Amino acid sequence: MASSSIPAGGHSDPTRRDFLMVATGALAGVGAAATAWPFINNLNPAADTLALSTIEVNVTPIQVGQAVTVKWRGKPVFIRHRTPEEIKEAEAVPLSALPDPQTDNARVTDTAKKVRPEWLIMIGVCTHLGCVPLGNKPGDPKGEYGGWFCPCHGSSYDTSGRIRKGPAPKNLVVPEYLFTSDSLVRIG
């Protein structure tokens, strides 16, 4: 009869060598993961960056017709409490008159889809070359359309932050935001 590799007991019992090979492989895998983890974790955003990813702003002190500028992710964000006249003026503009057609309601809807036309929240960076448009403070020029004016190249934005005249190709960007209460808005 030919000899077989099965021991006399009739089945293949794991040997001490098999156990040591499996244990060594498992230990090597755990060691590789423990060594790689600090490098992988280093790719996550820093705590200070995460803290700035969202901000909450109390809008109660902002009077009708007034605007404030807050800083979010290193950029100015304009928060304007619009007057009923500004809202009517923005809604009356035909889309065909806009270089970047977008309705007023589309710009002032928060992420929970609660339309609040009295609040306009947008990133205050001109879409042409990244300048900061004027128009948030008394005495600032507001351009021909009563909104914001970028003096660097003459871009004029209306009361909804939409480009109306000048070289800017797009409207001022509306960040993701959510009214968490009647007085608090979370941006980001």
The one catalytic residue in 11, 81, 128, 153 is 153
How many Å apart are CA 86 and CA 65, to the nearest integer?
Answer: 9
Q: Give the 3-state secondary structure of residue 168.
A: coil
User: Is residue 11 flagged as an active site residue?
Assistant: no
Q: Which two tokens stand for residue 115?
A: 């339309």
Contacts of residue 121, Cβ cutoff 8 Å, sequence gap at least 6: 77, 78, 79, 80, 108, 174, 175, 177, 185, 187
- 14 CB-side CA count, 13 A: 7
Which are the catalytic amino acids? 153
